[in-house]
Amino acid sequence: MYYGASLDLRMADSPADFAQYIDSLGLSHVELRHNYLDSRDQPPSVAELVDVRESYGLTYTVHAPYSDCNPGHLNETLRRATGESLKRALDTAAAVGAGAVVTHGGAVRRSYPEHVKRRSREQAVRTIREAAAHAADVGVPLCVENSRQKRTTQYTTETPDRLAAFLDDVAVGVDTESLGVTVDVGHAKATGVEPTAFVEAVEHPVVVAHLHDNDGDADDHDPLPTYRSVAAELGATYNVLEMKSKADIAECVAGETAG
């Protein structure tokens, strides 16, 4: 099991600076978020990211774009654009030696009629299935993440049953080794579900865990000092502290050490 943190767009560090900081905390994994990579004036090159990984003995995962991206988009042009962004993330992951790509599964307004919700889910299945086929081609698993339940938005992956059914539909005709799961413990808590329920519900391997805390309502990404014991229950290969600041990462590690 590898432990580390996500490189978020709120952080001004270069990949090398962030890797040095992670290493100083005794961590060895970085999740490269596309919102970080895409928001840089000069995005790091593949060669730079490989050099950082090798210099610090890191493992990588990549978080595919999700802001303004919806695999279940009802507009076909925008659905295809989301699919292309997933393939780009998989290509990036393969190039830098990452172990997995994390993706969301799609969403639609709860207020929409049932036939619209059904169509959106069909679109999401199609998008993730196409991306999973590309994942098989490049040799990097695509790991679908559980989303948190919201009053106005319905997600394809917000409960264990919905995530399991979604993955079963995506897997039709796809190399199942190209599909995995990301369990987000903060999303589970905000939904009122134990994170282990997602592990028990799915047949695909849990490859990535996103570790953060909240008050049971808002998705605040608060520090989680008990992250190692939580991660042990999930059994993911890559365990990512999904924090909004470096100080919060340090608080997690300090709390775990003190405990």
pLDDT digits (tens, 9 = 90+) for 172-188: 999 889 999 999 999 99
Phi, psi of 61 (to 5 degrees): -125, 165
Determine the angle formed by the axes of helices 46-56 and 15-24, rounding to 10 degrees: 20
* pLDDT for the residue numbered 107: 96
Q: Is the pLDDT confidence value at 258 over 90?
A: no
Q: How many CA atoms lie within 13 A of 209 on its CB side?
A: 27
Q: Which domain holds residue 204?
A: 2-258
Q: Which two tokens stand for residue 137?
A: 């081609």
CA distance 61 to 40: 18
CA distance 99 to 207: 9
Predicted TM-score (pTM) of this structure: 0.96
Closest of 61, 1, 51, 9 to residue 30, by C-alpha: 61
Q: Report whether 209 contacts 234 (CB < 8 A).
A: yes
Structure-derived torsion over alpha carbons of residues 8, 9, 12, 14, reported in degrees to the nearest 10? 70
* pLDDT for the residue numbered 176: 86
Mean pLDDT across the chain: 96
Q: What is the total count of domains within the chain?
A: 1
Q: Residue 259's pLDDT band (boundaries 50, 70, 90)?
A: low
CA distance 255 to 230: 13
CA distance 166 to 188: 17
Residue listed under structure tokens 């596309």? 34
In the chain, what are the helix, strand and coil shares in percent, each to the nearest 5?
45, 20, 35
CATH number at residue 153: 3.20.20.150
CA distance 182 to 99: 12
Q: Which two tokens stand for residue 221?
A: 């990404």
